Structure 1
Amino acid sequence: MDKWIKEASAFIERKTTKNAIDIGASFPHATKQGKYDKESPQWWTAGFWPGILWNVYHATNEYAFKNLAIQLEHKMDYLLNNPNKVDHDIGFMWTLTSLARYQITADETAKNTALLAANMLLARFNSAGHFFKAWNNWHGTNDNSGIVIIDSMMNMGLLFWASEETGDPRFMVAAKAHCDMVLKHFIRNDGSVHQMVRFNSLTGELIEKLGGQGYSKNSSWSRGCSWAIFGFAIAYHYTKEERYLSSAMKVTNHFALHLQHDPIPLWDFRIPSHTDGTKYDYRDSSASAIAACGTLLISQYAPLEEKRFYLAFGRDLLKRLYEHAATIEDDQNQALIIHGTSHWPEKKNLDTGLIYGDYFFTQGIYALNGINNNFWLGDSWNVL
């Protein structure tokens, strides 16, 4: 094992130990001057800090991490009785809390909570359009009932797991239908990805494709590519449908082509090349961390002659993050990695630490260290 992987693991454990005291039972999202802000338990990122804690507990067996993760999970319990307060990111939120707890501790209560979350997610399925609606129907005067975003691919794992756990095919059927819809309407021939698509929620017909968090409707939002890479790799893991693996590989190849030798990808691979006084060239470390985890999973299933490329690319993404984004020399910065971009179109959280970047960096490093538990898959994995 390379020295940098061991060093990165030790760095994660050291900083998480400090953050367990400083952040505690709060729900961090993005850093401001090196300190994480706090969101409510219903914000879509609520599961990532508990997910980090479960990863570090799994690696160290230090009960303080486990106890804090459970405390955070229970702060989210009220949402399971309030479906109007949650959206499709039920998958993100409870995969990394209740499902993680069940996988590590075999606690039946945690399993039942994860299944309840999966049922709440299943209820969001639109049978006319074969999609899971991203958000609740109305936000002010905006009708969101037909909005779907590429991020949704990461929520399908909870449904695949629920079908495997219970034997109930409804979860699998709906998740596969959604994945096939994404293949049809989100993935371009060159491997780039649309971030947002609007459908008629009554007929299921396509209305328009939107830019969302990307620069434009024709651009290539790098984190959206990462969600597709990992999401389709997860879909292949559960279904063994070749079209999902092929799509994950195609988007990875697009990502690699546009990353080239940059240590951290641009937040959008198709930002304008001209200068008009606007700063476009922000980086997004979270896109690399997510893509690394997805690419490492692809390496488990890719044809023999391609395995080495995907494994090497995933390792290289993580090494670049460790060398160019990790806060190794800054003990006061609560983020594990910096240079993340949350939402450039709304000018939110630019060049900062993001809790989901930290989570996927942790998962990826631990995977290389052979001590990771991939909560998205419902079972342990090891890329070595």
Structure 2
Amino acid sequence: MTNTEQLNEWATDKLDKIQTKTLQSLKRHGKKMIPYQAMNGVYTKDMAKEDITWWTNGFWGGWLWQLNHYQPNADLEAAAIANEDELDAAFLKYQGLHHDVGFMWLPTAVTHYRQDQNERAYWRGRHAADLLAGRYNPAGHYLRSWNRDRAGWVIIDSMINIQLLYWASEVTKDPRFAMIADEHAHTVMQNHVRPDGSVSHIVVFDPTTGERLRTETGQGYDENSSWSRGQGWAIYGFALAYRHTGKPEYLATAKRVANYFLANTAQTNHIPAIDFRAPSKDAGTDTSAAAVAACGMLEIANHCKDTEAMLYTTGAVDMLQAVSERFANYDANVDGILSGATTAYHEATGHNVNLNYGDYYFVEALLRVINKDILVW
């Protein structure tokens, strides 16, 4: 058996277990559930009832669509569509929505539309894209993140959300959406990504003039540190931007951040610390960062050749196998897949937890390994 065959066999075994596990979770909780975290192996909160505008509410639907593509199942598809239906309430609760509408409707409505050109799904995706485009600041050439008094704040997570605008331009033939996405990506590339490939989580601009004012700590150790999931958002976001535009500067940026990520995880047995510049005694782990970054590296590998492609594929697989061995639970009787994730460095109750987006990206990465994923972003 070749190394490729062994890898495919390994990933398929994990996916089969996750498929069974997911179907059992649906039986326990019902198709309208939108989970966020498994606490002690149980999805204790249904975010459709707790907070329908919560930014992670699209990942469960995306997880279901990915598994349904892997092995079609009527229960998975029905639950994915139910997740999408539930999110209509978020449009009505407008004040809770912000830049993360991409995270919410790309894995749900847009993915649904890409499967069967469902008209209702199309207009949900368009609605979300219009909301995101409306956050554009022409003085600073960026999409503002979050709400309240943060009109000049831009976070690295936004690089995944802008993929919604590339989709909108594709389906409408209106270049304005992609133009906004490109201007935002260039602003992030120039202001968030440092020369060594590390990334700032938050950069603050003057919303009137567009002038760069300062950085903020965000979810990492401090304002000058290197929050690992933020690195993952940058790797995957710029790789996807290259996929949608073919602009070489995006791929070069994704590679620079990925190389920095790989250099750091090589020192910690392929499991990312919460922040690559935090004191080593407080390093902790973030398996969600590993899963996001692995997807990004596998995307980069699709646009490289030979030895360079193997560098990123091997880096992704090393992380996935390390995470699986140390932190994955494939028992169908409990909810959630990965422990060892972290919401934020300074949030003590958010260390060593399960997160639905860590699980989603782990599933997507495994499917990418065997070339059976679907385009979500």
TM over 0.5: yes
Partner residue in 2 for 1:227 = 233
Higher helix share: 2
Partner residue in 2 for 1:358 = 359
* Alignment gaps of 5+ in structure 1: 377-384
- In the TM superposition, what is the alpha-carbon distance from 1:113 to its structure 2 partner? 1.4
Counterpart among 267, 288, 291 of residue 290 in structure 2: 288
SS at match of 1:28: coil
Partner residue in 1 for 2:188 = 182
SS at match of 1:18: helix
1:120 counterpart = 2:131: yes
1:200 counterpart = 2:201: no
1:271-282 maps to which residues of 2 (within 5 A)?
Answer: 271-273=278-280, 280-282=282-284
1:57 counterpart = 2:51: no
* Alignment gaps of 5+ in structure 2: none
Partner residue in 2 for 1:299 = 301
SS at match of 1:178: helix
1:317 aligned partner, one-letter code: M
- In the TM superposition, what is the alpha-carbon distance from 1:121 to its structure 2 partner? 0.7
SS at match of 2:218: coil
Partner residue in 2 for 1:268 = 275
Partner residue in 1 for 2:86 = 75
TM-score scaled to structure 1, two decimals?
Answer: 0.92
- The answer on whether the counterparts of 2:59 and 2:107 sit within 8 Å (CA) in structure 1 is yes
Partner residue in 2 for 1:315 = 317
1:245-264 maps to which residues of 2 (within 5 A)?
Answer: 245-260=251-266, 261-264=268-271
- The answer on whether the counterparts of 1:265 and 1:285 sit within 8 Å (CA) in structure 2 is yes
Q: Within 2, Cα distance between the matches of 1:174 and 1:286?
A: 28
Between 26-35 and 64-73, report the one with greater CA deviation.
26-35
- In the TM superposition, what is the alpha-carbon distance from 1:84 to its structure 2 partner? 1.9
SS at match of 1:29: coil
Between 292-301 and 11-20, report the one with greater CA deviation.
11-20
1:31 aligned partner, one-letter code: A
1:215 counterpart = 2:221: yes
- The answer on whether the counterparts of 1:83 and 1:120 sit within 8 Å (CA) in structure 2 is no
- The answer on whether the counterparts of 2:25 and 2:334 sit within 8 Å (CA) in structure 1 is no
- In the TM superposition, what is the alpha-carbon distance from 1:228 to its structure 2 partner? 0.1
Q: Within 1, Cα distance between the matches of 2:52 and 2:89?
A: 9
- The answer on whether the counterparts of 2:337 and 2:359 sit within 8 Å (CA) in structure 1 is yes
Partner residue in 2 for 1:337 = 338
SS at match of 1:209: strand
Q: CA RMSD in A?
A: 1.4
Q: Within 1, Cα distance between the matches of 2:86 and 2:146?
A: 22
Between 293-302 and 82-91, report the one with greater CA deviation.
82-91
Q: 1:83 to 1:127 in 2, by over 3 A?
A: farther
- In the TM superposition, what is the alpha-carbon distance from 1:314 to its structure 2 partner? 1.7
- In the TM superposition, what is the alpha-carbon distance from 1:33 to its structure 2 partner? 1.8
- In the TM superposition, what is the alpha-carbon distance from 1:203 to its structure 2 partner? 1.4
2:40 aligned partner, one-letter code: Q
- In the TM superposition, what is the alpha-carbon distance from 1:82 to its structure 2 partner? 4.1
Q: Within 2, Cα distance between the matches of 1:344 and 1:29?
A: 19
Partner residue in 2 for 1:35 = 42
Partner residue in 2 for 1:371 = 372
SS at match of 1:189: coil
Q: Any idea what the Cα deviations from partners look like across 1:40-61, whole Å, max 9, x if unmatched?
A: 2210000011111111111111
2:366 aligned partner, one-letter code: I
Tell me the matched-pair count: 365
2:300 aligned partner, one-letter code: I
Q: Within 1, Cα distance between the matches of 2:366 and 2:29?
A: 22
Identity %: 37
- In the TM superposition, what is the alpha-carbon distance from 1:234 to its structure 2 partner? 0.5
Q: Any idea what the Cα deviations from partners look like across 1:165-189, whole Å, max 9, x if unmatched?
A: 1110111110000000001110011
- The answer on whether the counterparts of 2:17 and 2:332 sit within 8 Å (CA) in structure 1 is no
1:47 counterpart = 2:58: yes
Q: Within 1, Cα distance between the matches of 2:230 and 2:107?
A: 20
1:154 counterpart = 2:160: yes
Q: Within 2, Cα distance between the matches of 1:226 and 1:117?
A: 24
Counterpart among 4, 13, 16 of residue 19 in structure 2: 13
- The answer on whether the counterparts of 1:30 and 1:349 sit within 8 Å (CA) in structure 2 is no
Q: Within 2, Cα distance between the matches of 1:104 and 1:290?
A: 23
